[in-house]
Structures are given as C-alpha cells and as structure tokens.
Structure 1
Amino acid sequence: MTFKTKVTLLFFSMAAAGLVVLNAAIFYFVSQFNFEDFFKRLEARVNISAELRVSPDERSAVTKEVRNKYLEKLEDEKDYLIKLEPDGSLPETKPLQLPDVFFNAILKNNRARHVEDNRFYCGGLFKKGNEKYIVIVGASDPYGYKEIEELRKILIIGFIISLALVYVIAQLFSYYTINPLRNMIKGVRNITANNLHMRLEEKKGKDEISELTQTFNNMLIRLETAFETQNNFVSNASHELRTPLTIITSETELLLARKDLPEAARLSATNILNEAEKLKHILTSLLGLAQTGFDGKKQNWQKIRIDELLWQVIDHAKKIAPESQIQVNAEQMPEDENRLYTEGNVNLLQLALSNIVLNACKYSNYAEVSISITERNNWISVTVADKGIGIPAGEQQFIFDPFFRASNTNKFEGYGIGLPLTLNIIRLHKGSIGISSEENMGTEIQIMLPRAR
C-alpha cells in the first residue's frame, strides 16, 4: 500500500467518523426536541383535564370551550382519571394498563412521562381536599415520527453524498500532500554513482519536507566525498602498490636465476617469490572487491548469453585445474536461446562464476561438480553443486564476509576474498546468491540474474 493511499484512507476514515458522529448528534437532538415538545403539549392537556375533571368551577365551562375551539386535538387523544385510595395507594383496577414504574413516579414526583409503541403518556398528581387524583393524557404522534423518519432518510442520503465528496477531497488532499515527496523520489532516482554531484531542489521554508531535503543533500555531500576518496584510492593503489610488487618479483626471479646461489638463500628467495605472488593476487582481489563495491557505472555493459559464458568459465577452470570434473546438466535449459541472455559486464560475470566453479572443484578435492541452468519468471538461475567438505551450519552466514574462511578449510589454500567479490559482482548486476550446504555432504550455490528484455 502506497503512502498516498494510506493518507487517503486515514483522511477518509477520520472524516467518515466525524460525519457519523455529526449525523448521530443531529438525529438525537432533533428527536429529543420533538419528543420534548410533544410531552409539553401533553402536560398542558393534563393540567386542563385536571381543571375540568378534578376541580371544576365556574371557569371550567370557558376553559372547555377554549380547549375545544382553539387547542389542537392530538391523534387518538384520551384522558384518564384515577382516584387514589384514602391511604394514597393506587386502586386495584386501573382504566389503563401501564408499568407500575410510571405510576410510582407520579406518586413520588407529581409528574411522569412514558412512551409505549409510538403512544405517549403524561400524568400528574392533583389534590382536592383530602382526596388525591391521577390525571393521565395519552396520544399518538404520527407526524412527529414521520418527521423523524424523513430526517433519517435525509441524513442517510446526505451521509452517502458526503462520503463521496470526502473521498474526492481525500484524494486531492493526499495528492497535494505527497506531491513534494513524489518530486523528491523522482530526484533521488536520477542520482547514481555517476552523478553524485546532483542535489535535490531545496524549497524555502521550515517544514518537514524542506528539512528532509536539506538532510538528504547533506548526506549526498558526505557520500560524494567518501566515493571520491575511495575512487582515488582504487585508482592510485593499483599503480602505487603494483609497481613495488613487480620490482620485488622481478628481482627475486633474477636472484633465483643465479646458479651460484646457496641453497639456503635459494629457499628464502623462493619463499619471497611465492609470498609476493600471493600478495599480488590478494591485491588484485581487494582492488576488484573495492571497485565492484562502489562503482555503479555500466562499463562495457552488453547482452551476455549465460550458457556460452559458462562454457568459457569451464574451459578456464580446466586450464587452472586440469583434474577438475565438471558436468553441465542441460535438461532444464530453455529451448529458446533468447531466454538465456542477461545484461552486464562479461569480464566481471566470468570472474564471479569462475570463483564459484573453482571453489566447488577445490573444496570437493576435484570430485564431480554439477552445473545446471534454468529460466523462470524472467530470472536466469545458475546452480553449481558439489559433493565436497561443505560449510558448518553456524558459519554459513559469514561466508560472504571479506577474509572469512570456514573452520574446515585449513587444508586448502585461499584468502577469503573470492565469495565477497562474487557477491558484489552479482549485486552489481541486480542479481542474488543463495547457498545450501551441509558439512561433509557438499554445497549448492544458486546464482539468480535478471533476464535481458
């Protein structure tokens, strides 16, 4: 889910919740006002009915005439008179059946209200001498309920329309809110190892977006400085370190060419030459490791057919180790050769695959090594499997760390640089490496590379 969608949903949810609360409040207060108004009208009728039936006098006739002439007759309006017992209790028989709570409230508070199935009741307690009476007026309010139902429909329709408007507003809100971030993403995507000098456009202001832009630009300055420093080191180290190594190697070879060289001196010179060659190899690997670790330039980037590259790797491996036994399993190889192409630097990929294949041969004591190629979902998979010494389970997570060597590799020559270099090369080609190994059973390494389109 994108951040824009999250903002839209958050805004929409909050606005929808607000609309629900607002509509509920409107419906509640209008309903309460409607009921309160109707109860007040009933209470007025209770007072009039009590004056006419409990304490009639010479004004009662006028009151009755005014009520009949000017007072609106409510729907199904009826009044009831209940005479209480001398002790103030209710009689056993009552003219209407209502809950005892209603009658008890009248006796306690002199007034009470009750609603039952859209019929409203209002009652009051009145005295005449030593006698007490309860006057109750009941009526229906169909018009009030009709108004409430109409209000409910209006609120529901308004709520639906408001939700549609809120969604449109949420989309616009999220678009203009995320637009600065979207522009930042476009700018960041254009910045690579080749153009670290580029910067994001800084806008005036002290908001979070401006602060984020400034922070990112400051980070780019530090990255550019670090990359330049590393680039200068890689460029200069190749010349500055190789030259004295070449001199040491040449002088040692000249020394070994002398026939009058004592045996002890010859042995020392041979050791010096071997160590110099090792140092040269380590230096070459380190420079390659550093270069592939930061250089994102697509130098000599071209389409490469993986199966042809593998045959070159196998030929190279057999030249280095003639005793190697390498078998290629072509059963799962796609018939369409166009599905075997990837894009990259052929020399770097050859170096990466050679490291994997040579390691498989070396650590299996040059037993049979199997290589297979498959293609699925636009990914080319190269699997190299051996039946060698394997890698201890607790050490497999460290095999791509520079200079790390497994505890069971003491009998084998190596520097712990080949696999880290291979990983950097594969990552440079937007691929990945997976490993499955069991000690004393063998190792299987799978290289995934994107297929060229």
Structure 2
Amino acid sequence: MEFKQSLAQRIIIAFALMSALVAGSFAVGIISTVHFIEEKLISAGLGGDLNRLLLAESVSDWSHRPKQDQLFYFSNGPGDFDLPPDIRHLEPGFHEVFRGPLSYHAMIEVVDGRHYALLQDQSDFEERERLLFAVVLVGFVLALALAVFLGWILARRVMAPVVRLARQVRHRDQLLGLAPPLAPDYAADEVGELAVAFDATLGRLRQALTRERMFTSDVSHELRTPLMVLASSCELLLENPALDQRARRQVERIARACEEMRDLVQTFLMLARTQREDPTMTPKATLTGVAEQLIAQWRGPIESKGLELIYKPAEDDQASEIRYNATFLLAVMGNLLRNALHYTDQGFIALTLHGRGFVVEDSGVGIPEEKREAMFEPFVRGNEQRGEGLGLGLSLVQRICVNQGWTVSLSPMEPNGCRFEVNLAPTGNER
C-alpha cells in the first residue's frame, strides 16, 4: 500500500488510531460493566420488593402498597392491581417495559399459576446512564486529543534527525571533495545507519563526478589540437583559387562544422571546470552582443535554406548592460538556433530578446506532444527521420541552464513549430 502522507503525519495518525482503539475499548468496557452491574442490582432490588409484596398478599394485607415509584400488578387483582394486557405475555424474570415516553424495569414472578409483576420507573437509571455516557465521551475525546498532541511531539522528535540528514544530503556542498562525513553527527541507530549509507553513496558519487570532470576536461583539451588542424587546413584550402564552387561550399561546410565543434568542446571544458575555477575569470558577454554575433553567423545558412530570419532586439537596456558567461550563453542560444534550422523547412526563425532572457521561435515540424517533456534528455530527438543529430543539443542546453541557474521552457506554436524561452536569472556571476 502506498501512503501519500508524510512520515510525521503517519506517526500522528498511528497514535490517534491506537488511542481511539484503546480508549474506545475501555469506554465500551466501562459502559457495559456499569450497565451490567446496575442491571443486576436493580434486578435484585426489584426481586426483593416483589417478594415482600407477595408475603403481604399471603397474609391478605391488601392495604400494603408498593413504593412511590413502583407499580404492582397480579392476575385478577382488585382495581388498579389487576395485571394489564401489555405485560401479561412477559416470561418470569427481569424485563424493560415501555409505555409511551416512560420506561420501566419490570420483575415478573409466577406463583401457583398467578402472574405477579412489579414495575419501577427507570428515570433515575436513565439519568445516570446519560451522565456516564457523557463522562466516557469526554474522556474519549480528551484521550484522542492527548494522543494527537503526544504523537505530534514524538513525530517532531523522531523526524528531527531525519529532516536534518535530508537537508545535509540535499545541500550541493555535500558533493564537494572536502565535504565532512555525515555519520559522526548522528547516534548509532537507524538514522545513523542511514547517514553511513549516504556517506558511502555520496563518496562513490563524488568519485564518479571527479572521473567525469577529468574525462571531459582531458577529452576536450585533446580535441582542440585536431580541430585546430582541421580549421587551419580549411583556411588554406579556401585560399586556393583552383577550387571550384562546389568544392568551396564543401570546405566551407567543413570549416563551419569545425567551428561548431570547437565551441562545443569549449562548452564541455567549461562545464567540467565550472566548480574548480573562479567565475570572475571566465569570459563575459552581454545578451545583445551574443545575439548579434549568432545572427551574423546563422543568417547565411538560414536564408540560403529559403527561411526568413527575424531578429527583435530588447526594448530596455538590461540586455546590453548585464554580462553573462559568454561560452555558455553562446552554446545555449546557438544550439536553439541550430535546432530551429534543422527542423524548419519553410517559414521563419525568430530570435526575440527581452531584459533578462530571449525567445527562439520557428515554423518547423514541431515536436510531438508525447516527446515534449523528454526533449531535454540526452539522445532524445523530435523526429527520428531527420538528419544525423544525436539528440544532445537540447540536453546540453538544459545542463548549462541548470548549472547557471537559468530556466528553459518549451511550448508549441500554432499551427506548427516550437517556442523555446530562456530566462537568465541572476547567478551572482554577471556584472
């Protein structure tokens, strides 16, 4: 069974249910016991009174009357003593008799074929029962309230180390290599064992992150040299006047791919070093500067495909004043423009700037609704039939945004296309 309540709420509910069960059992037991004993006492008292009246009848003392709250009847008795029809069917023993709003306890005896009945008003008994019920109900409610209060206190005390451990594990500093272990802060109980398990898991995670950063850094660094060789070779080839137009376009395509690969390598290298380098030492650029640079870079490929490139600068000055990590901003905006070009065959691609972010829109094929939420995962592509991409561009955009404290969202365009909006929240790195 899956519970939706928190652990603290479950502890309080368990206390309340246990208290309700125990208090309810005690209440039922008390009421049943008191009712049984009182019924036995009343039955014994009525039996004694009836025997006294039967004795009086045996000596023909008809002037002897029952007590003020009692009624005495017997078969073929004179006047009011005659046995009424509503109790003639009762068997010998103790009974309850109801006459309209009134109720009586009745004791029936049969002597020599004659029925004798003694009735006693049970108003006092009912009053005592109501008082008993009220006392038991108040006690039950108080016990339940006390159980909830004690459960709340116990839940806070029990959950305090768990909540503290969760906050420590959730803190990003726990992934740093010099982060202190968690276990020494806790007793040798279940929470302490959980802290030991977290220490072991976080240790393995730190090692994995370290290996990933070192691998990314090493690979990115080693790829720079062959990329520079490719770029230099393309420049030399483009200077050769013997190249025909078709060959020149191919070399320009190779040069552009080398440039994109170099930017990607630089982005991965920055991501690998982002927690080890001083943020103030990274290159900075404004939103307007990056947008104009990319518009100049992508205008040719976009317009050569027959698409309209729409660029709308920001209306305020923030886009031209606030400075961001240039490598990451270029990677995010460039990947979104590249993605729009890849999936748009006709219509337009638009880049709109606002004070603390930008929007990239296109009139392309769009992204199926069932894939929309997963588009920022690695190796997920909007249309498997288009191009040779690996589905890493949007994953890289998401990773950079998380790293920098930015947000990226995807929404559909009407009648078709995509709209990506990036909000550049302050991260403390811009100036």
Measured in 1, the distance between the counterparts of 2:365 and 2:128 equals 87
1:6-405 matches, within 5 Å, as 6-53=10-57, 56=58, 76-82=69-75, 95-98=83-86, 103-106=88-91, 110-116=92-98, 117-127=102-112, 132-192=113-173, 193-195=175-177, 197-202=179-184, 203-205=186-188, 207-247=189-229, 252=233, 278=257, 281-282=260-261, 285=264, 288-289=267-268, 292=271, 300=279, 309-323=286-300, 325-328=309-312, 345=325, 347-361=327-341, 363-364=343-344, 368-372=348-352, 382-391=358-367, 396=372, 399-402=375-378, 405=381
Q: Secondary structure at the match of 1:400?
A: coil
**d(CA) in 2 for partners of 1:385, 1:25:** 74
Q: Post-superposition shift, 1:385?
A: 1.5
CA contact (8 A) 1:120 1:140 kept: yes
Corresponding residue for residue 87 of structure 1? none
User: Secondary structure of the equivalent of 2:133?
Assistant: helix
The separation in 2 between residues aligned to 1:451 and 1:257, in whole angstroms, is 43
Give the drift of 1:220: 0.8
Superposition TM-score, scaled by structure 2 size: 0.73
Equivalent pairs counted in the alignment come to: 403
Unaligned runs of 5+ in 2: 303-308
Residues 348 and 225 from structure 1, CA distance in 2 versus in 1: closer, same or farther, beyond 3 angstroms?
A: same
The separation in 2 between residues aligned to 1:37 and 1:134, in whole angstroms, is 23
Mapped contact 1:296–1:428 kept (Cα < 8 A): no
Shift of the 143–258 alpha-carbon distance from structure 1 to 2, 3 Å rule, reads: closer
Judge conservation of contact 2:217–2:269 (CA < 8 Å) in 1: no
1:4, distance to aligned residue in structure 2 (A):
2.8
Q: Which amino acid aligns with 2:110?
A: L
Q: How far apart are residue 435 of structure 1 and its match?
A: 2.5
Partner of 1:89: none
2:410 aligned partner, one-letter code: I
The Cα of 1:233 is off from its aligned counterpart by 0.8
Q: Give the aligned CA root-mean-square deviation in angstroms.
A: 4.7
Q: Do the aligned partners of 2:407 and 2:423 also contact (CA within 8 Å) in 1?
A: yes
Alignment counterpart, residue 447 of structure 1, candidates 419, 422, 428: 422
Identity %: 19
Q: Residue type matched to 1:321 in 2?
A: W
Deviation (angstroms), 1:282: 4.0
Which shifted more, 226-235 or 292-301? 292-301
Larger Rg: 1
CA shift for structure 1 position 198: 3.2
- CA drift at 1:361: 5.0
- Looking at structure 2, the residues matched to 343 and 176 of structure 1 have their Cα atoms a distance apart, in angstroms, of 47
AA aligned opposite 1:95: L
State whether residues 50 and 126 of structure 1, in contact with CA within 8 Å, keep that contact through their aligned partners in structure 2: no
Change in 2 beyond 3 A, CA 1:234/1:364 = same
1:15 alignment partner, SS class: helix
Unaligned runs of 5+ in 1: 85-92
What is the CA-CA distance between 1:430 and the residue it aligns to?
A: 4.1
Give the TM-score normalised by structure 1.
0.70
Distance 1:169 1:150, change over 3 A: same
Partner of 2:306: none
2:216 partner letter: V
**RCO comparison, higher one (Cα < 8 Å, 6+):** 1
